[in-house]
A and B are shown apart, each in its own frame.
Chain A
Amino acid sequence: MRSALTIAAKDLRQRVRDRSIYVIALAAPLGLAAIFGFVFNPISDADFTATFAVANIDQGPLASPLVDGVLGGLAEDGNVNLVHAASAEEATRLVEGDGERADQDVDAAVIIPAEFSARVQTGRPAELRVVQNANSSLASTLALAIVEGYARELDYVQGAVTTLTAFDPARLADAAAIAGLAASTPSPASVRDVSASTKQLDNTTFYGAGLATFFLFFTVQFGVNSLLAERHFGTLNRLLAAPVPRWSIILGKAITSFGLGLVSMLILIVATSFILGADWGNPAGVALLVVAATASAIGVMAMVSALARTSEQGEVFSSIAAVGLGIIGGTFFPINQAGGVLASLRFVTPHAWFLQGLGDLAGGSIGDILPAVAALLAFTAASSGIALALLRRRLNP
């Protein structure tokens, strides 16, 4: 073990002296993650804000819950900006952008016509109007959904009042109280979002994690390919002639790769968290995933390197493997959203399992990442086994 650590310490000294490690392990992934994060952040869910114009002509008791309750609540949460209009025409002009307040970039207008409350309360047909901005499909669809939801709520309350008074006309005088009771009764069924919105990484984290994984495979190759470099420089014969077990030479290289990989990932996690605002999730879970991913990267790259005969060949093979697996694994874009074969194919790479694990961690607990960790360790075992079989022949000429 001591000889393995001696070899690892020497390798690390060489790698630190070889400044390309800083580019591959730190500068490139950090720079690219920053670029990707800044480019894609405007469509991030976290930063979504819609602007709605509201024309409350009615000013009645049933308009207030919509304007002050539903829309006002969204405005307080910072998800919606509300612009109040004095008339339906003004609200429409704001959406169409030819009014005096066109600079406010209104996504949709909600118009509550005069006598809306009175018509609903007396059982006459009433309508709520939504004017959608053709250039803001997402935000205007949201406005429509909000208003439709409120209308369904009114429909439910009115249904309760109508049913009771139909059976007992004497209670018509209590219609307002019945309506209040119906409105305050909790819905018998509720919907909870447990999928996309909670088990998904935000853009900055996704690109930070993706690029960190992508470059992890380049970083570990510095250690993995150094066995070929030892042969190139003739020093492998000296190592083999020294009184050290042959396995300790391989272990030394693995320790070098592991150290470089872990340090690179740690710096990237800290940097993307503090500089770019990435949210990697539970530190213990992230640590588990990073260790498993680094081990799998070493195994896979050792297997690829063991197929090469020269250090130059090793670098070419490793680069092709790192880029190919990174693309298939979805480190540059969320390939799972492509669907079909591509979405399934990504799981032949450790990259995809690492990102999957981070996604599971974002919406769950450490227990949820165990399948991803198990998959990464399986990659490690299989690829390391093949690499060792190939290297054993190299070390015993």
Chain B
Amino acid sequence: MLECRDLRKSFGELAAVDGVSFHIAAGETYGLLGPNGAGKTTSISMAVGLMQRDGGQVLVDGEPLDPGTTRLKAKIGLVPQDLALYPDLTARENLRFFGRLYDMPRARLSRRVDEVLEIIGLSDRANDRADTFSGGMKRRLNIGIGLLHAPRLLVLDEPTVGVDPQSRNAILESIEQLGSEGLAVLYTTHYMEEAERLCDRIGIIDRGQIKAEGTRRELAQILSQHDRVRLSATGPLHEGAEALRRIAGVQQVDVTDGAIDVLVEQAGNSLMAILSALEQSGVSITGVEIDEPNLEAVFLHLTGRSLRD
């Protein structure tokens, strides 16, 4: 459905996107996972023909897409990162306006507007101005506009940023539903759990480059010889963490509220040394969990920085 080859874009000296390639098949949800400034938005701006490329190629259904191309754009629905709607128009007016730009016949547009209002849960507020909506409702309308013309590829750029947990869950459920209906989805996020939940395949992007790509299981294989040990504890956790970093085989140590997360090669070999070091640092351990590494750990391993950086 969408193929991006060796996309490149620089702003002055900064190479925002440096040779990004990926492809998405029909019915597949592909995630671009990376922290802020990694090059996600610039990549998808080139992918949907919003931005001129310095290099590379974009193919939609095998046909090249450029910013001047109009016909192919009808196959793509875009949900920008920032809200992109008219606050002084009603939800219905917003949808109808963008529907007309996609040359939808009048009768079909009316039906589709009602359908989309139902999908995004705004049927009862259809005739209210968008500036009277809550943040979550505006986000849902923002997604609805991208869906209106029934695109074959839906591109969502961090659609849940700044959304309350309830609305966020509703948005994710909608996207899961769309994916199951055969829509190709390109989804960018810096939330690991969203990528894990929604995406069939994930591209980890950092500093304008795809560092690794695959299914969640394939990415986890990168750290197949590693375990994630979560130690619930009290006491001087940061001193304990410092002691753990000196143990052979320990790759990463993170201190969170009331716990220390440790990425370690072969946890069975190092567990006794870890517990001993913490005890000597004055840390009291109240629980131990051993899991497979998650995408956060993979990202940290590949880029040397956290998704929240």
List the interface of chain A (C-beta within 8 A of B).
Answer: 2-3, 6-7, 10, 13-14, 17-18, 233-235, 237-246, 396-397
With A6-B97, A243-B102, A244-B101 known as contacts, the answer to whether A13 contacts B89 (CB < 8 A) is yes
Q: Are B85 and A245 in contact (CB under 8 A)?
A: no
The reply to whether B52 and A397 contact each other, CB–CB distance below 8 Å, is: yes
A6-B100 contact, Cβ under 8 Å, with A241-B76, A396-B52: yes
- Do B84 and A235 touch across chains, with their CB atoms under 8 A apart? yes
Given contacts A14-B86, A238-B98, A397-B45, 18 further A-B contacts (CB under 8 A): A2-B103, A3-B101, A6-B97, A6-B101, A13-B93, A233-B83, A234-B84, A235-B84, A235-B86, A239-B101, A241-B48, A242-B101, A242-B102, A243-B101, A243-B102, A244-B70, A396-B52, A397-B51
User: Could you say which residues of chain B place their CB within 8 Å of the CB of A234?
Assistant: 80, 82-85
Which residues does chain A contribute within 8 Å of B51, judged by CB atoms?
A: 397
A18 — which chain B residues lie within 8 A by C-beta?
Answer: 88
Residues of B within 8 A of A237 (CB): 45, 50, 78, 80, 84
0/1 string, B72-110, CB within 8 A of A gives 1: 111010101011111111000100011011110000000
- Total interface residues on B, CB under 8 Å, equals 32
Separation in Å of the A112 CB from the closest CB of chain B? 76
- Among the interface residues B52, B83, B88, which one has the most CB atoms of the partner chain A within 10 A? B88
Determine whether B68 belongs to the interface, using a CB cutoff of 8 Å to chain A. yes
Q: Is the CB of B73 within 8 A of A241?
A: yes
Q: Is the interface of A mostly helix, strand, loop or mixed?
A: helix
B27 is an interface residue with CB less than 8 A from chain A:
no
Q: Is B145 an interface residue (CB 8 A)?
A: yes
A366 to B73, CA, bound (A): 49
Contact among B50, B85, B93, B100 for A235, CB-based, below 8 A: B85
* Complex: A17 Cα to B145 Cα, angstroms: 22
**Are A238 and B84 in contact, CB atoms less than 8 angstroms apart?**
yes
Looking across the interface, which residue of chain A has its beta carbon closest to that of B67?
Answer: A396
Q: Does B249 contact A (CB under 8 A)?
A: no
Quick check: is B49 within 8 A (CB to CB) of the other chain?
yes
A242/B73 in contact, CB under 8 A: yes
Query: Is the beta-carbon distance between A233 and B52 smaller than 8 angstroms?
Result: no
| Complex alpha-carbon distance, A235 and B80, angstroms | 9
CA distance A239 to B101 in the complex (A): 8
Whole-angstrom CA separation of A241 from B83 in the bound complex: 15
Is B71 engaged at the interface, CB distance under 8 Å to the other chain? yes
Q: Which residues of B contact A396 (CB under 8 A)?
A: 52, 67
Minimal beta-carbon separation of A229 from chain B (angstroms): 9
Which chain B residues border A397 with CB–CB below 8 Å? 45, 50-52
B52 to chain A, nearest CB (A): 6
Question: For residue A6, which residues in chain B have a CB less than 8 angstroms away from its CB?
Answer: 97, 100-101
Q: Nearest chain A CB to B148's CB is how many angstroms away? A: 11
B101 contact set on A, CB distance < 8 A: 3, 6-7, 239, 242-244
Measured between alpha carbons, how far is A56 from B86 in the docked complex, in Å? 81
A245: chain B residues at CB < 8 Å are 70
Q: Chain A residues near B74: list those with CB within 8 A.
A: 243
Contacts of B98 in A (CB 8 A): 238, 242
Please name all residues of chain B whose beta carbon is closer than 8 Å to the beta carbon of A10 when the two chains form the complex. Answer: 86, 89, 97
Q: Complex: how many Å from CA A243 to CA B101?
A: 7
Per the bound structure, the CA–CA distance linking A244 and B97 in Å amounts to 13
State which of A2, A14, A238 has its C-beta within 8 Å of the C-beta of B88: A14
B103 contacts A243, C-beta separation under 8 Å: yes
A241 to chain B, nearest CB (A): 4
A-B contact pairs, 15 of them (CB 8 A): A6-B97, A7-B101, A14-B86, A14-B89, A233-B87, A237-B45, A237-B78, A238-B84, A238-B145, A240-B49, A241-B49, A243-B70, A243-B71, A243-B73, A243-B74
Q: Give the one of A3, A6, A235, A240 with max B CB within 10 A.
A: A235
Contact A238 B78 (CB under 8 A): yes
**A17-B88 contact, Cβ under 8 Å, with A237-B78, A241-B76, A397-B50:** yes
CA distance A17 to B130 in the complex (A): 14
